[in-house]
Amino acid sequence: MFKESGIYRTIGGRNCSYTDEGFKEFLAANAQSRANSELLRWRIQIESELGIHPMSEYDGEPIYGMAFMSRGKERLEKPMQELQDEFDFCIQDQDACGIVNGELASKAFNKGKAVERLCGFLGVSRKDTIAVGDSMNDLEMLQAVETAVCMANGSPALQKLAHMVCPPVTEDGLYHAFEKLQLI
């Protein structure tokens, strides 16, 4: 249903990822320096061939995640309607080129629930937690912690929810955030 709607998919298995044919060309044409951080990250990964194979090579191994990208949010209407009971669509803000991207996340488990489980396992109080994110797939994680940090090149919607916004990774943003939070 994604492919039929003009949506490119990248699925992640245990050992590698698979992406729709034509996705590399789509990224080359659309992921410029003014694109959102996820779009640029995908372009770098695809161009560097970092364990990403054509979808035609997918052999049925278990899938742990799926990212998607399309020109315009309206293309997502049918998949969202059909999958809304089982999955959350973590959609990034549409970029200046009209590209929308995001991830499918299981309603049964997300990064926020992972933080809660990890805190319980380690005996760490929520008041002692910090998380750093840059995209809408980090929303629940940032909501689950005491101090939420968003990267400056991250989603504008996520930046509004964060307690602090640090410079992008390319400007040593994590270092500056850790320093401000007195972690280093």
- The pLDDT, as a whole number, for residue 181 is 97
| Dist. CA 147–CA 159, nearest whole Å | 13
E strand residue ranges, the chain = 8-13, 17-19, 52-54, 63-71, 87-91, 99-106, 130-133, 147-151, 164-166
Residue 138 near residue 121, CB atoms below 8 Å: no
- The pLDDT, as a whole number, for residue 93 is 67
Mean pLDDT of 8-12: 91
Q: What is the CATH number of the domain that holds 145?
A: 3.40.50.1000
58 and 124 belong to one structural domain = no
Q: Is the pLDDT of residue 44 over 80?
A: no
C-alpha dihedral (150, 51, 4, 26), degrees to nearest 10: 70
| Dist. CA 143–CA 141, nearest whole Å | 5
85 and 119 belong to one structural domain = no
Q: How far is CA 100 from the centre of its chain?
A: 12
Q: At what angle do helices 23-30 and 37-48 cross, to 10 degrees?
A: 130
DSSP-assigned letter for residue 146: S
82 and 144 belong to one structural domain = no
pTM for the whole thing?
A: 0.70
As a whole number, the mean pLDDT across the chain is 87
Mean pLDDT of 100-124: 92
Domain closes at, from 87, 106, 125: 106
Q: Is the pLDDT of residue 73 over 60?
A: yes
Q: Is the pLDDT of residue 161 over 90?
A: yes
55 and 89 belong to one structural domain = yes
Domain closes at, from 106, 141, 167: 106
Q: Is the pLDDT of residue 35 over 60?
A: no
- The pLDDT, as a whole number, for residue 164 is 98
Range of the domain at 56: 3-106
39 and 86 belong to one structural domain = yes
Confidence of residue 141 (pLDDT cuts 50, 70, 90): very high
100 and 158 belong to one structural domain = no
Reported as a single tens digit per residue, the pLDDT across 13-22 is 888 889 898 8
Mean pLDDT of 88-99: 76
Mean pLDDT of 7-27: 86
Domain closes at, from 51, 71, 106: 106
